[in-house]
């Protein structure tokens, strides 16, 4: 007695329905994933800058000398630009002129791996190119605001705001409550 052979596998209709459901899930999921990656990248760069601010402040206190955090594109000199996305460095400012001289000691340099993040010193404070720390831990001058934005316009923008006491804080808004625009 032969039993009838039952075909195994999927029918064409089942396969088309499965592919349609997968396409819908991917259509919904991929933009959310891009936003997640953009937010994560911005947060990572914000955390890097805050860590360098803490380092500059602690080095100023430890060494009993001014320490400066500045934007750099070559890792050796401070740039004259308000754009910080090319990198930043901390150095011990021996003569207190806020400029990297030959006798000043570079403590550390950060060159971002991710090029899609725009990091700008806010124009509301005339675009700070350096953030200095006194041996007391204080940061002279006006409150500094450094803004972080995804260059593709995806994700949430953030700002690091440094008060005159030298303490950095992270915010989703500028100090005056305005939205972060990075322009």
What is the mean pLDDT of each successive set of 10 residues along the chain, which is 183 residues long?
72 91 86 85 92 95 94 90 90 90 91 82 72 93 86 86 91 86 71
Count CB-CB contacts under 10 A for residue 16. 11
Q: The whole model's pTM is what?
A: 0.81
In a 13 Å sphere around the CA of 43, the CA atoms on its Cβ side amount to 8
* pLDDT (0 to 100) of residue 127: 72
* pLDDT (0 to 100) of residue 112: 83
* pLDDT (0 to 100) of residue 60: 95
Q: Does the CA dihedral 171-174-180-183 come out positive or negative?
A: negative
* pLDDT (0 to 100) of residue 19: 94
CA atoms of 78 and 76, how far apart (whole Å): 7
Q: Does the CA dihedral 79-84-89-91 come out positive or negative?
A: positive
12-171 CATH, one of 3.55.40.10, 1.20.210.10, 3.40.50.300, 3.20.190.10: 3.55.40.10
What are the residue ranges spanned by the domains of the chain?
A: 12-171
* pLDDT (0 to 100) of residue 141: 80
* pLDDT (0 to 100) of residue 91: 95
Instruction: Give the single-character DSSP code of 9.
Output: S
Q: For 171, list phi and psi in degrees, rounded to 5.
A: -140, 155
Q: Within its chain, how far is the Cα of 161 from the centroid? A: 13
* pLDDT (0 to 100) of residue 116: 81
* pLDDT (0 to 100) of residue 183: 66
* pLDDT (0 to 100) of residue 21: 93
CB 90 within 8 A of CB 104: no
CA atoms of 32 and 39, how far apart (whole Å): 11
């Amino acid at each position: 007695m032969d039993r009838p052979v039952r075909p195994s596998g999927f029918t064409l209709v089942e396969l088309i329905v499965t592919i349609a459901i997968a396409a819908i899930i991917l259509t919904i999921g991929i933009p959310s994933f891009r936003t997640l990656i953009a937010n994560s990248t911005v947060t990572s760069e914000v955390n890097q800058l805050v860590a360098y601010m803490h380092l500059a402040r602690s080095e100023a206190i430890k060494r009993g000398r001014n320490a400066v955090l500045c934007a750099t594109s070559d890792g050796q000199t401070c740039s004259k630009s308000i754009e910080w996305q090319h990198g930043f460095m901390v150095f011990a400012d021996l003569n207190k002129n806020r400029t990297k001289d030959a006798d000043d000691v570079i403590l550390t340099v950060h060159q971002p791996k991710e090029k899609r993040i725009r990091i700008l010193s806010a124009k509301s404070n005339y675009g700070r190119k350096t953030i200095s720390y006194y041996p007391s831990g204080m940061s002279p001058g006006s409150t500094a605001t450094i803004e972080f934005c995804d260059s593709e316009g995806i994700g949430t923008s953030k700002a690091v705001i440094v008060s005159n006491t030298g303490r950095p804080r992270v915010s989703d808004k500028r100090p005056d409550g305005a939205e972060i625009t990075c322009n």
